[in-house]
Amino acid sequence: MAISSAPGKVYLFGEHAVVYGEPAIPCAIDLRARVQATARDDNRVRLTARDLSLNGFTVEFRGGHGDRPDVDVPDVLVEAAVGYVDGAIEHARELAGGTDDGLELTIESDIPLGAGLGSSAAVTVAAIDAVAREFGASPDKEVIADRAYQVESSVQSGEASRADTYCSTMGGVVRIEGSDCRRLGEPDIPFVLGYDGGAGDTGQLVAGVRSLRDRYPFAHATVEAVGELVERGETALADGDLAEVGRLMNFNHGLLAALGVSSRTLDDMVWAARDAGALGAKLTGAGGHGCIVALTDSSSVKTALEHAPSCEAAYEADLTPTGLHRE
């Protein structure tokens, strides 16, 4: 039996613009997904998922061959979860020299699904590692990060960035620019997250930004402005200037709103956090619905979010230096 865990992430800066080659700075947070892998005697895969912010489900299918399991949860979520796990198993088998053995997989996660916190990347990273180790391999982190990116890219039809998978594998603050991924460090940054209970449609949101950027020169300039903001954010992080990081988060949120990816609930939570004293607040991830991230060490921000009409749950989630972890 092998158990691996990997963290979720928030974007401090740069989501969406990263799709067009601009830099982005995500960082890992201490909400984690854990995957336990146990080899079976047959070649079946049995997957049990718990706490994925949806009803737990158990599915049994022949991993690695595109089977559709038959379970009573929304198709789109099962399809996504199974897609990531299926891809992870395939890559792990390859890393382990091509075994066809079956698996018992259990996934537990603190990370709300589809909320912009990189739950799928965390599950994918942890699953590749746990399965590869269960089959006797011990791939290094760079390899895991790259394989996990390939899985996301395949499930998301090429729209994935390396941000989520690299960040989840390495932990801490990372900088992504195209295929150039670097770890910047592990400063002590306290976050509060607000979650509206919903999930944005990443494909549709990415397509919306692309359409604006293709149509309007000023939308093109807006995407570039995000990239410039990220450079400034990197400096502020290096200087430990959290007030500046917060100001830049606020600005980044406005640019994302201009690009059409905010929503009434996300804006409401952002203002609740700012009005309660957060240094800065922005949506994180694809937007539409999901989470906002507020930079603050004040418990009153969490309370304010819990009282905001749009907020279903609020979490304290510090930056974590721990990426992929073998438990």
Residues lying near its own copies in the complex (CB under 8 A)? 212, 216-219, 221-222, 224-226, 228-229, 232, 250-260, 262-264, 267-268, 271-272, 274-275
Q: Work out how close the CB of 13 gets to its own copies at its nearest, in angstroms, rounded to a whole number.
A: 11
Q: Which is nearer to its own copies, 40 or 215 (CB)?
A: 215
* 192: nearest Cα among 300, 54, 271, 118: 300
- In angstroms, the first-to-last Cα distance of the chain is 11
164 is a catalytic site residue: yes
94's torsion region: left (phi>0), alpha (psi -120 to 50) or beta? Answer: alpha
Q: Which is nearer to its own copies, 63 or 288 (CB)?
A: 288
Q: Work out how close the CB of 241 gets to its own copies at its nearest, in angstroms, rounded to a whole number.
A: 13
**Token output for 95:** 């890393």
Q: Work out how close the CB of 307 gets to its own copies at its nearest, in angstroms, rounded to a whole number.
A: 13
* 129: nearest Cα among 120, 121, 139: 139
Residues 6+ apart with CB under 8 A from 84: 120, 123, 124, 127, 151, 152, 155
Q: Work out how close the CB of 161 gets to its own copies at its nearest, in angstroms, rounded to a whole number.
A: 20
Longest distance between any two alpha carbons in the chain, whole Å: 59
Q: Work out how close the CB of 167 gets to its own copies at its nearest, in angstroms, rounded to a whole number.
A: 23
| Distance (Å, whole) CA 24 – CA 226 | 9
User: Residue for token digits 């694809």?
Assistant: 286
Q: Which is nearer to its own copies, 40 or 307 (CB)?
A: 307
Active-site option among 86, 164, 196, 268: 164
| Distance (Å, whole) CA 41 – CA 311 | 46
Q: Which is nearer to its own copies, 176 or 249 (CB)?
A: 249
Q: Which is nearer to its own copies, 121 or 269 (CB)?
A: 269
Q: Which is nearer to its own copies, 2 or 223 (CB)?
A: 223
Instruction: Give long-range contacts, CB 8 A cutoff, 24+ apart: 264-267.
Output: 264/310, 265/196, 265/198, 265/289, 265/310, 265/311, 266/196, 266/290, 266/292, 266/310
Q: CA-based Rg of the chain, rounded to a whole angstrom? A: 19
Q: Work out how close the CB of 160 gets to its own copies at its nearest, in angstroms, rounded to a whole number.
A: 25
| Distance (Å, whole) CA 197 – CA 13 | 22
Q: Which residues are tagged catalytic?
A: 164
